[in-house]
Amino acid sequence: MFAHNLPGILAAYSILLVAVLSPGPAVAMLLGIGLSRGRGSAVLTAFGIAAGSSTIGALTFAGMGVLMQEAAWAVTVLRLIGSAYLAWLAWGAFRKAIHPPRIEPMAMPPLAPLRAFVTGYLLQITNPKAVVFWIAIASVGATEGAPLAVTALFLAGAGLMSLAGHMSYAILLSSQPIRAVYARARRRIEAVLGVCFTFFAVKLALSRS
């Protein structure tokens, strides 16, 4: 059964990887907190973001399971919505590649640990980018027909990917040398992300899962 779902799981993880690595509201928050509040606050915020992503993933998969059983047409609608949003993200990435925004650091006291975690969690569960990416991931049908244990393992892996990616951002973007490198490569990074978003938008729109 797991072998049957493996291609879908790999496809879903590839979408998730782009979602985690691509700059968006969560990365912007980590950059801002890292610049103004320090690395410790940014790392705790990353834990909150990962927890929020896991919450969205679990709720999305539960809802998609019902839709697949009761209203298959709704999956197609959600898939097309997700594809349109990915195309919009691609346009935004290409635009930032041409005119990257400037971010200026400022010194502020660190956030309290619980506040940092909750800040990241609340941002992620209300982040439309995260929601649409999870709809796209679920609509691929990665764990369709699989036992509950496979779905649980898939979601656990997704949570670890989110934590690793956002924590890496928190650590790296709170380092002055890395920020300088990121700033110099920002145009190329956004251009590559634009290509990735475009690819997944087309792939999702043409998917028949």
Q: Quick one: pLDDT at residue 46?
A: 94
Query: Residue 117 pLDDT > 90, yes or no?
Result: yes
Give the H/E segment covering residue 78.
helix 72-98
Cα dist. 55→84, 159, 189 in Å?
23, 9, 28
Distance separating alpha carbons of residues 72 and 92, to the nearest angstrom? 31
Amino acid at 150: V
- Helix axis angle for 25-36 and 113-125, nearest 10°, is 160
Taking only the tens place, the pLDDT of each residue in 131-160 is: 778 877 777 766 666 677 777 888 888 899
Q: Quick one: pLDDT at residue 176?
A: 75
pLDDT band, very low/low/confident/very high, at 20 (cuts 50, 70, 90): confident
DSSP 173: T
Query: Residue 94 pLDDT > 80, yes or no?
Result: yes
Say whether 107 sits in a helix, a strand or coil.
Answer: coil
Averaged pLDDT score across all residues of the chain:
77
Amino acid at 153: L
pTM over 0.75: no
Residue closest to 54 by CA, chosen among 129, 116, 134: 134
Give the H/E segment covering residue 195.
helix 176-206
Taking 3-state DSSP, the helix, strand and coil percentages for the chain, each rounded to the nearest 5, stand at: 80, 0, 20
Q: Which residues does 126 contact at the CB level (< 8 Å), separation at least 6?
A: none
Q: Quick one: pLDDT at residue 29?
A: 77
